[in-house]
Amino acid sequence: MADAPSCRRAQLAQRSNYPSLVLGVALLGLIASNFMVSVLAAVVGELADEFGTSTSTMVWVVLGPNLGFAVLAVTAGKLADLYGRRPAFLVALWGSMLFGGLSAAAWSPGSLIAFRTISAIFGSACGPAGIAIVTALYPQGKRIKVLGLWSMVMAGGPVLGILIGGPVIELASWRWIFVAQVPITLVAIVAAHLVLPDTPRAADVRFDLAGTLLLASAATGFLFAVNRGPVWGWLNPALLTLYVAVPVLVVAFVLQERRAPVPLIPVSYFGRRNFALPLVSMFFTQFSYMGAGFVLAPLFLSEVLDYSPTRASYLVTSRPLFFGIAGPVVGALGARLGERTLSVAGTMLVVASSIGLAMVDTGTSDLFIFATLGIAGFGLGLVMPAMIATITNAVDPGDVALAGGAQQMVVQLGTVAGIQILQSLQVAREAAVGPDDSFTQAFVIGAMVSFIGVAGALFVRRSAPVPPSAAPAAPAAGPRPVPTERR
């Protein structure tokens, strides 16, 4: 006999606005779990002074959560697909809240880094599980509209955290940020418990622990190598070892997945154009978007053009602003234009932004810089929902959360690689050609790299439309036929 909460959820499911209600609750959980990921980025130096440690140590209070958010995203998605997406979403929120609250009581650098990282690991499950829950309630033709809003919130959460966190840290203490996280997340937990639909779980399956360890090790090795490269030197013996180890781990992962009864990621998915190519496109697009616009552009404005922090911040805000504007555009035109058109247009705008940044000099107007940065944000706002929709439509319905986790991991890998590699190239060229030209060259390289993202998007096939009246059923744990694709 069903319990009372299940009956109430079943009654809610009969309402015409139930999918919108579930979307709102999932977005609330997403904000609660991910807006703290980078909130301490601006106060790393102050934290180092407070705890009596070095800045290089304290920077892991930001790096650790980002690593955790990336490395275990696929694992979180697979667990959600196997053992239930609603339970996975709730566990993610509980864990994020618990360790977020413990962060407020941290007594040492190690405790703060550990609590922040574990909180982010739990929070990483909200994205894949939430995407799977929401997309199961919308027909395929409407998913891209919903995912436009999802992408906007996913990208805006950390920005919101920084905007709110800055004044709180200034007026009170960084600890109060994590104190405030507890009631916010608790509200999301209660709402999720009352609203999110029950989801089936797979029976008589074993989780692929070996595949998880191999993939996590490969991702960690890659992220650690690109992060430490600018600090230790790219030819450091430890990093040279990682350059060899990471490909070996990837090969071992593929071999493990071929023989695993229930693989973490079925190898056959990489033979599906609409699974593999969007991942390639998102990695290289994110590489340029974050490497050129997020780090190098503000540095260029302050160090070369001698802009004040306020003036530079005003210009850089165009990226999240235009990213947000792209959401309604995707909602209005997404189903009509299709995933490929949106993705190609978006990636081309990211390329154009990098080229535009390479043209900036002391005589360039603020309006040009604002627009140049803004078109990158608008472009990525077109790309992300289109690519997420493509990937989730390409996998079996029982693996939608896994697809969301793979997308989340690849985006984070591209982010770290772009930031570290482009900044390292700029620094390496500065002595030879001077500050101005070194930034120009880095922006040009970013544009060239993001062209690979354009190529990946260009060869994606548009998913065949599904009649709007064909509302999908709740996702099953087992495999189902793959949605057809058309050119």
Summarised one tens digit per residue, pLDDT across range 464-482 is 544 433 344 444 433 333 4
Structure tokens at 184: 């916010």
Question: Residue 181 has what pLDDT?
Answer: 83
Tell me how far apart the alpha carbons of residues 319 and 370 are, in angstroms, rounded to a whole number: 8
Containing 486, the helix (H) or strand (E) segment is strand 485-486
* Other beta carbons within 10 Å of 409: 26
- Count of the separate structural domains present in the chain: 3
pLDDT tens digits, 171-191: 777 788 888 888 989 999 999
- At position 57, the amino acid (one-letter code) is T
pLDDT in tens, 419-434: 888 888 888 888 888 8
CA–CA distance from 98 to each of 21, 115, 123, 339 (Å)?
26, 9, 11, 38
- Residue 330 shares a structural domain with residue 256: no
Whether 43 and 181 map to the same domain: the answer is yes
Per-residue pLDDT at 339: 82
In a domain, 383, yes or no: yes
Same-domain check for residues 279 and 332: yes
| pLDDT higher at 3 or 196 | 196
Q: 458 and 334 in one domain?
A: yes
Does residue 417 sit in the same domain as residue 373?
A: yes
**Measured distance CA(110)–CA(403) in Å, rounded:** 33
448 CB-near residues (< 8 Å, 6+ apart): none
Work out the average pLDDT over 14-39. Answer: 80
- Examine the pLDDT at 311 and tell me if it is beyond 50: yes
pLDDT for position 251: 94
Q: Find the CATH number of the domain harbouring 36.
A: 1.20.1250.20
223: left (phi over 0), alpha (psi -120 to 50) or beta: alpha
Q: Is residue 2 part of a domain?
A: no
- Cβ atoms < 10 Å from Cβ of 367: 9
| pLDDT of 283 higher than 90 | yes
Whether residue 35 is found in the same domain as residue 52: yes
Q: Is residue 216 part of a domain?
A: yes
Q: How confident is the model at residue 486 (pLDDT cuts 50, 70, 90)?
A: very low
Q: What is the CA radius of gyration of the chain?
A: 22
For residues 268 and 83, the model is more confident at 268
pLDDT of residue 345: 92
Q: How far apart are CA 55 and CA 77, in angstroms?
A: 34
Token pair in block for residue 465? 């439309």
Residue 218: is it exposed, middle or buried by C-beta count within 10 angstroms (0-12/13-18/19+)?
Answer: buried
Q: Which domain holds residue 217?
A: 208-261
The reported pLDDT for the residue numbered 483 is 42
Separation between Cα atoms, residue 72 and residue 78, nearest integer Å: 10
Residue range 344-371: mean pLDDT, rounded: 91
Same domain, 405 and 433: yes
Percent of the chain predicted with pLDDT > 90: 19
**Residues 314 and 245 grouped into a single domain:** no
Condensed to tens digits (0 to 9), the pLDDT of residues 103-158 reads 888 888 889 889 988 888 888 888 888 888 888 888 776 777 777 777 777 766 65
| Residue 434 belongs to some domain of the structure | yes
How large is the average pLDDT for residues 193-217?
81
Which stretch of DSSP H or E encloses residue 485? strand 485-486
Average pLDDT, the chain: 81
pLDDT at 95 (0 to 100): 92
pLDDT of residue 413: 87
* Residue that is last in its domain, among 196, 217, 233: 196
Mean pLDDT of the region 200-220: 81
On whether residue 169 sits in a domain, the answer given is yes
> Does residue 369 register a pLDDT over 80?
yes
Per the model's pLDDT, the better-predicted residue between 140 and 86 turns out to be 86
pLDDT digits (tens, 9 = 90+) for 454-466: 988 888 887 654 4
Would the pTM of this model clear 0.75, i.e. be above it?
Answer: yes
Residues 146 and 181 in one domain: yes
Do 414 and 459 sit in the same domain of this protein?
Answer: yes
> What is the pLDDT at residue 352?
94
Q: Within 13 Å, how many C-alpha atoms sit on residue 415's CB side?
A: 15
Please check whether residues 356 and 327 belong to one and the same domain. yes
Contact 194, 10 (CB under 8 A): no
**pLDDT tier at 379, thresholds 50, 70, 90:** very high
* 110 CB-near residues (< 8 Å, 6+ apart): none
Grouping H, G, I as helix, E, B as strand and the rest as coil, residue 184 is: helix
